[in-house]
Structure 1
């Protein structure tokens, strides 16, 4: 699915407040480091420097990119970049500065941007003064005609601020750091940040499951949400289904921790998760029909997570009158209170899951 679309979520003050909540306290070490462009390119090629997969890819024009290369060549200052040191791998994750880095790497490579429709233009400096000695030059031209300039470029220094989380020992601060530094002028949704930071097997699974036809019918949206909020719903199910007892608000940090924990799960885990979600989708769609969680004023995340958790626990024990039970529960004031107020409070979350399991399957 290549098109995008947005889910019509029900407005919920608790959910909105949760998404905007302040981060917990962290002990963070930040220190400057000066790297030459040649060293940065070497780290990138060896995968020691990681530019995460992210929705906003290289967006600079060739003129913008050329101006940056010219700044290095003439010795003008260039804004610093921010890198995050992952605790386990010691790799450097680019938090802010991918446009600057990609520009340098593309120029050394000789081509501008990624290949499109089999074409990839030569990266020649454009938008400069025609009197500039670098006007229209590719890196190959510099090597052949002005070796000193080529050497100066490779030895140009780009200052980086290295960020390392000291406490707690879980690397969760990266989500908040990325959210604040790499905004590109637009506030990122939480799942967009997770997508950038956690690029392992579990993230791939979430995207695969998000495209399931049964799931799209449950959401009432055949096309993908442009901000990955549908992907986040898949994550929300797994997190509450398997870590409910350890849940603490805010919900967004709980989901981030869960995703970080399962980032690189092996095939056995991924296979079991895939089957669990697929079977639950099939059962919910079969018994409750399309768009079953639009029972008030749009898609209600709390109705969804509690019902999905309950169904997944009882796939072999679904009552014949489950649709009637669900309709009766949805119309009760008790259930409405559980899914429309304080929906991210720890006890409220656990209570609504218990309530739905009891009403629908006991």
Structure 2
């Protein structure tokens, strides 16, 4: 039995449970009366939609995947408009300034806009092969008007919808070949001063090298900065799920004054420097008393070290110790404190788990 428990404890460390993106749980954390999705349906003409994209009243946010359709795929869509074949619904989000961001429909809208701007010729048509090789301006004016007057059904998620409900809808519509990460969704839904500061903090710090990431294509480091800020500022009020907690923080802090920007940047850099100074290349990694790495980056340990040391600095400061001694102290926590080991490996977003691991680090390294 003892051997089985040891292997189970090791498995907990090496194979942490990923329960932090439980979107169903996120929705259930909202009062029932706020879980409703508020929408309006519009039938916009093709001409109107292209005009909206051109004047900026509608836009494709930068979290959307890049345009990938071939000219043949785009041509088939134009042909569908001509033969009045139904086109799938386009989903949009109403921003606070009334602009409409495209949630689902980027490829379709971009294809239509490109054709009306004469950026490609029709090719690969099956219903009207006679139109092959024509740009928009080369079509008979009657075809041009027919395309421009076609209506596309657009469902707009209104701005009075609860932000977490919007986030859940984004996730449900996130069905591309490469699914967007929660941070990529967050980047589009809550974009503002806080997101920009997170991006800047990543580029101006050595976080990427500490994570051993050369190019952060999926915004992992940016999410970790937001994760630190939200927990550092709201630690005592933390309630799971963690994804919702970060979302709420991002939504409330879209607009920041210069003083808040400076304070956030300073708090993150100070905590990161403290971690690196104590643990060096072993930062955020699970390792044994022999200092051999057992598991690479661990997000729960990241919380414990960043928030724990930040809280220590806000108190009486961090104990003076060598890096070698600090690594042995942490290795001891991981090896000998079953509650700490569990807090960085199982149900890591639970309130008690977050608070235990952070408090354990504050007590171990704080004066």
TM-score interval, smaller chain: 0.7 to 0.9
Once the two structures are TM-superposed, the CA of residue 341 in structure 1 deviates from its matched residue by 2.9
8 A contact 2:89–2:153 mirrored in 1: yes
8 A contact 2:279–2:326 mirrored in 1: no
3-state SS of paired residue (1:78): coil
8 A contact 2:278–2:326 mirrored in 1: no
Equivalent residue in structure 2 for 1:255, among 246, 258, 267: 246
- Is residue 2:151 matched to residue 1:157? yes
User: Which residue number corresponds to residue 54 of structure 2?
Assistant: 45
Structure-2 separation of matches of 1:266 and 1:98:
33
8 A contact 1:82–1:94 mirrored in 2: yes
8 A contact 1:31–1:161 mirrored in 2: yes
8 A contact 1:280–1:308 mirrored in 2: yes
3-state SS of paired residue (2:354): helix
3-state SS of paired residue (2:185): helix
User: Which residue number corresponds to residue 98 of structure 1?
Assistant: 106
User: Which residue number corresponds to residue 139 of structure 1?
Assistant: 136
Q: 1:112-155 deviations in whole A, cap 9, x for unaligned?
A: xxxxxxxxxxx21122259634211112223xxx1121111111
Q: How does 1:1-362 map onto structure 2 within 5 Å?
A: 10-13=14-17, 16-22=18-24, 23-25=26-28, 26-54=35-63, 56-86=65-95, 88-111=96-119, 123-129=120-126, 132-142=129-139, 146-164=140-158, 166=160, 170-212=162-204, 214-219=206-211, 221-295=212-286, 296-315=294-313, 317-321=317-321, 323=323, 324-332=325-333, 333-334=336-337, 335-362=340-367
Q: 1:200-243 deviations in whole A, cap 9, x for unaligned?
A: 23222222322345212321x14134433232212111110111
Unmatched tracts of structure 1, length 5 or more: 1-8, 112-122
8 A contact 2:90–2:155 mirrored in 1: yes
Structure-2 separation of matches of 1:109 and 1:331:
65
Q: 1:281-322 deviations in whole A, cap 9, x for unaligned?
A: 223222321231112422121211121113334458332216
8 A contact 1:129–1:135 mirrored in 2: no
Structure-2 separation of matches of 1:28 and 1:214:
41
Once the two structures are TM-superposed, the CA of residue 21 in structure 1 deviates from its matched residue by 4.2
8 A contact 2:23–2:168 mirrored in 1: no
Q: 1:76-106 deviations in whole A, cap 9, x for unaligned?
A: 21111111223x3232221111111111112
Structure-2 separation of matches of 1:279 and 1:201:
20
3-state SS of paired residue (1:43): helix
8 A contact 1:330–1:336 mirrored in 2: no
Once the two structures are TM-superposed, the CA of residue 45 in structure 1 deviates from its matched residue by 2.5
3-state SS of paired residue (2:101): strand
Q: 1:2-21 deviations in whole A, cap 9, x for unaligned?
A: xxxxxxx95311xx122234
8 A contact 1:50–1:92 mirrored in 2: yes
3-state SS of paired residue (1:263): coil
Deviates more, 1:312-321 or 1:21-30: 312-321
Structure-1 separation of matches of 2:114 and 2:257:
34
**Higher share of residues assigned helix:** 2
Structure-2 separation of matches of 1:93 and 1:252:
22
Structure-2 separation of matches of 1:101 and 1:331:
57
RMSD of the TM alignment (CA)? Answer: 2.4
Paired residues in the alignment total: 334
TM-score (normalised: structure 2): 0.83
Which structure has the higher relative contact order (CA within 8 Å, separation 6+)?
1
Once the two structures are TM-superposed, the CA of residue 24 in structure 1 deviates from its matched residue by 1.3
- CA 218–273 in structure 1, closer or farther in 2 if over 3 Å, else same: same
Unmatched tracts of structure 2, length 5 or more: 1-12, 29-34, 287-293
8 A contact 1:10–1:300 mirrored in 2: no
Structure-1 separation of matches of 2:329 and 2:274:
19
8 A contact 2:46–2:149 mirrored in 1: yes
